[in-house]
Amino acid sequence: MKLNGTMSNTQDSKQYAEDMGDAHVGSSLETPLRLDAFALDNELKIELIEKHFREIMNVLGLDLTDDSLKGTPHRVAKMYVEEIFSGLNPDNKPKIALFENKYQYNQMLVERDITLYSNCEHHFVPIVGKAHVAYISNGHVIGLSKINRIVEYFAKRPQVQERLTKQISAELKRVLQTEDVAVVIDAHHMCVSMRGVEDHSSSTITADYSGKFLEEATRTEFLKYLELSGK
């Protein structure tokens, strides 16, 4: 009975994990990280990931003596640590400098169509889309490229789109010292198009509005700039 109970619990746990992934449910606003997440340096992380990915390829039956494949474990490990998941490391957080709004520009500033590449934390396949960001200055501004950098930093980690939207918004509010921030993300999820339902045409839109963007007139103006109004 104990064995059957253990097997049942394991099956329930696996089913719960499957349901979580297919529902694209996130567990928290913060990216789930262990307390010792940065105890290993990048070089050792690459070494360990390379070892484990080589084993994954072996289990799949791939011939790692083939010239095309033998370097793949190292390439994947280096890509994970230094590129597509580099946003996990707080050392890579962009340094942002505020500048006085000397132009006295008091309308919304919109940065739209910011290219976004992330990865679904449920299946580790790409999320590809665009982020649209706006803010109204409270006396300070930041360089336009820094908005792109903030989006890139939070995108380069295993993600859920809803969390990504909130994280970008929270960081912009913190940096700009204003609540008047809006973030919209429109993205395609490869976990929807490559597997499961295999829907190749749908996209997911998420939004976070704060401060003046909670007012209908301000929000409508922002969406008109994005040509999303009425969709």
User: Which residue, chain included where needed, has tokens 């033998």?
Assistant: 70
Active site annotation includes 152:
no
Active site annotation includes 132:
no
SS3 content of the chain, % helix, strand, coil (to 5): 45, 20, 35
The one catalytic residue in 122, 159, 167, 171 is 122
Active site annotation includes 123:
yes
The whole-angstrom separation of Cα 223 and Cα 161 is: 19
Active site annotation includes 15:
no
The one catalytic residue in 50, 132, 152, 161 is 161
Rounding to the nearest 10 degrees, give the CA dihedral for residues 54, 60, 63, 65: 0
Active site annotation includes 120:
yes
The one catalytic residue in 120, 132, 152, 171 is 120
Buried b (16+ CB within 10 A) or exposed e, 85-112: bbbbbeeeebebeeeeeeeeeeebeebe
The one catalytic residue in 121, 132, 152, 171 is 121
The one catalytic residue in 43, 152, 189, 198 is 189
Active site annotation includes 167:
no
* Torsion angles phi and psi, residue 130, rounded to 5: -130, 140
Cβ-based neighbour number of residue 175 at 10 Å: 19
The whole-angstrom separation of Cα 103 and Cα 109 is: 13
Give catalytic residues, as residue numbers.
120-123, 161, 189, 191
